[in-house]
Structure 1
């Protein structure tokens, strides 16, 4: 076999290195000084700016801290990392609605493309209108009503006849058409016609063409405002005729034309690319999680063990709060958020920020509209110490109420449930005499136990009644309300009663003997007569 020889370049490099070391007078085995080649410590951990946190976690470190001690559970997922099926069914689309199609037609088309059962929109647009339409998918449909009541912004094109020479009159008329206005329905409305009160926040003239006698203005108004009626009112203010030519919605709620607006073709292409190539990126780009609609709500972050109770409608107590935002007022709509950034529910605040900071216990908020699906997080109320003991002893059912295994002494306690507390509120404490009699009834159910408590109880006021009670001859359970007599008096009465019993027995025996003798004599006489 031929020996492998190293490359000539490598040998030349080794020779040069040895020559340098010999010139410097350093042997290969001696330690060398590092000099500038020392590895200096660097910052391994770089803290990320909280302004870059996604959605509801933005500025998390700047919120007020109520408690930092909580146990995180391995349930739930951040909104942006949900599985694609769940992501689509809990998101929304900022759609550019095409003209000459109704809002209902657009919604039904999206439902068939994405194969989602529940789809809703943020507000009806007339067929001749185009622009921003928030389409909510799946569980995001819960937020449709809040989006329908959000403010809107439009750009409208109008025409005037006859011509108006002074443009300042138009700007002044638009300035007067702000505030609360009466509005009637147009000739062919998309909803039920009725007289409304709607507020216009602001209107300004953008362009006006004197040759065509047409102009364009921008208006910000309350939901449900008729832009065509507003154009007619503009003509009445100017003393001429006015008519709406075209209108487009440029903002719905907090989302406008520049906020990831898509068209119908984008939705179709995204679904087709996912079905063909399993590429989720296009779908995740056009669909946003529902938490993006709540970024302007005041936030309260809650503990994980409180989440499922809130999903079942339980009020939020102060003990379940982790962090809360500044500016919370009473009776204000807020959003309850998990530590992963998931929206749990829209709630009504019962405490302001200052009250939450100063109080130690109480109800902070009541859920108004639950967003998260139930049992996404485990039930915490089933794993409490008392609940687990009841389960092991089988003295309570799955609803933590009494069952056939529940002992009678527990039925009287004020621990089981509200019904037991209500029933036990009017029951007086038992005395020692009645408690001993009830110890034998532990196996009875609740209904029998209640009936036994309703038996007639008589008061012992006379010595005879007391004597009968002590001797055990009483037919009804009695309860002594007066002060008890001394032991000597009771013993004397008992002795008297026993003597009377002995005397009665003797008398009874004598009477029985007499009766027997009489019977014998009668029988003898009868036999004699029979023989005769």
Structure 2
């Protein structure tokens, strides 16, 4: 009985126990979530990795962590432009309120037009051109001159006036009134009151489109006439009226608060970093050691590449950024994503517009073994002041191993080194391409003359004789001019001598009378 009870207890324990094999706890760290990272660092983990080998340099700063002075000087304001003042006046007022040197805007709005006006401050003015050419969106109030027989004809007319259109600037425009082509991407009718002859529509269009002209064309197409009653810009480039738009009073109050309480919070809320304009561009992350070279105008090469975006196309406009999220420059891609993943050398991108100030990061070029050896040879006098080779002084192995791509020596001259086995002496024969071309030209002319006719020879002789006579005449003329100049100079000296003698004679006579 006891053994049966023991067996039952063991069976119950086996049934109740959990003997499943559980996976071991993962030792790897959880995946990094970068979807909430700010500005250019958003979704940083989704960028393709070229290499993770680089040395961080403790220079630069995250755009949102800059000190207030640098923050303002590299900031942009998404301003709600008021009605009546011109865009130029508004920008000038902001420059005076913030006490900065430069301000610029993303595209002129007429005085009566309200809405989104991107104002760039100091360093951010380098992005003004890119924003001026970006697409725009407007909400317009159209007034028709009489009621429409068919209210459905208005949306049809809006659809008709979509795509590439001919436009001539209005009479009140300040630009030259010449015909131009502008593209309307989309037009949407929001509201229409046929009794009051008023319509409200939303339009997405190319930069430089005249909505006033579009309203006149709509009236002509509908057969009743029309004009623009009111206009508001709801998006300009990268910013819309939903992206923390501020008014002139907000800017004024934020600056007053900072001046009187030293509270930066409101200024940082009103002004946004310039990187906020570049979030729509594809990104390439650059090593810290290559940043300053790019700021000085160097092309970005493969060794300076850290990460890059997918689907980069050749000659596409991209943004170069640091690992801290700072914008370095706008650039033109010289490789596609596939080439960036496979190439071991070459040019990644060339700079179109540099944004970062020079020497924000330290200079790190010219520190390689070849560069250091070159500096030492210049110091020892084995190379010229600018690194050029000196015949008979520069070692022959340097000529063979080192190629200076900054100089045109490869194209202008070829240096051939021949070693004589008998005496062991080295003979350096320097043959310039210019001399070689001269010889070829002479050989060609000699070969060509044999095939010439007698008439060609006579014509050539006649031209040569005329040229010789003209040169002789020019020489005689110059000699005559020189002779006249010499004679004039002699006459001048003679006059001076006579004048001096006359003066001395008068002084002597005066002295004799006095005595």
Partner of 1:112: 96
Give the TM-score of the pair, scaled to structure 1.
Answer: 0.70
Q: Cα distance 1:192–1:280, how it changes in 2: closer, same or farther (>3 A)? A: farther
Q: Is the 8 A contact 1:158 1:243 kept in 2?
A: yes
State how far apart, in whole Å, the 2-side matches of 1:296 and 1:436 are.
65
Unpaired runs of at least 5, structure 1: 1-40, 440-448, 455-532
Q: Is the 8 A contact 2:284 2:308 kept in 1?
A: yes
2:231 to 247, 257, 261: 247
Deviation at 1:304, TM superposition (A): 0.8
Deviation at 1:396, TM superposition (A): 7.8
1:329 to 303, 313, 316: 313
1:16-31 mapped onto 2 (5 Å cutoff) = none
Partner of 2:211: 227
Q: Cα distance 1:312–1:89, how it changes in 2: closer, same or farther (>3 A)? A: same
Q: Is the 8 A contact 1:228 1:243 kept in 2?
A: yes
State how far apart, in whole Å, the 1-side matches of 2:329 and 2:178 are.
33
State how far apart, in whole Å, the 1-side matches of 2:381 and 2:120 are.
43
1:199-218 mapped onto 2 (5 Å cutoff) = 199-218=183-202
1:6-405 mapped onto 2 (5 Å cutoff) = 49-391=33-375, 394-395=379-380, 401-402=386-387
Cα shift readout 1:249-307 (whole Å, capped 9, x = no counterpart): 01101211110101111111111111111111111101111111111111111111111
Deviation at 1:99, TM superposition (A): 1.0
Partner of 1:409: 394
How many residue pairs get aligned? The number is 403
Q: Cα distance 1:264–1:395, how it changes in 2: closer, same or farther (>3 A)? A: farther
1:429 aligns with 2:417: yes
Give the match's secondary structure for 1:259: coil
Give the match's secondary structure for 1:104: helix
Deviation at 1:389, TM superposition (A): 4.0
Partner of 2:9: none
Q: Is the 8 A contact 1:395 1:403 kept in 2?
A: no
Deviation at 1:45, TM superposition (A): 7.9
Q: Cα distance 1:392–1:131, how it changes in 2: closer, same or farther (>3 A)? A: same
Q: Cα distance 1:404–1:162, how it changes in 2: closer, same or farther (>3 A)? A: closer
Deviation at 1:319, TM superposition (A): 1.7
Deviation at 1:210, TM superposition (A): 2.5
Q: Cα distance 1:369–1:214, how it changes in 2: closer, same or farther (>3 A)? A: same
Partner of 1:8: none
427-436 or 204-213, which moves further after superposition?
A: 427-436
Q: Cα distance 1:302–1:437, how it changes in 2: closer, same or farther (>3 A)? A: closer
State how far apart, in whole Å, the 2-side matches of 1:215 and 1:314 are.
54
Q: Is the 8 A contact 1:159 1:242 kept in 2?
A: yes
Give the match's secondary structure for 1:223: coil
Q: Cα distance 1:423–1:152, how it changes in 2: closer, same or farther (>3 A)? A: closer
Deviation at 1:405, TM superposition (A): 11
Q: Cα distance 1:406–1:70, how it changes in 2: closer, same or farther (>3 A)? A: farther
State how far apart, in whole Å, the 1-side matches of 2:118 and 2:158 are.
28
Cα shift readout 1:446-481 (whole Å, capped 9, x = no counterpart): xxx999xx9xxxxxxxxxxxxxxxxxxxxxxxxxxx
Q: Is the 8 A contact 1:413 1:424 kept in 2?
A: no
Cα shift readout 1:68-104 (whole Å, capped 9, x = no counterpart): 1111111111111011111111110000011111111
Q: CA RMSD in A?
A: 3.1
390-399 or 93-102, which moves further after superposition?
A: 390-399
Deviation at 1:422, TM superposition (A): 3.7
State how far apart, in whole Å, the 2-side matches of 1:87 and 1:46 are.
34
Q: Cα distance 1:211–1:315, how it changes in 2: closer, same or farther (>3 A)? A: same
State how far apart, in whole Å, the 2-side matches of 1:52 and 1:371 are.
25
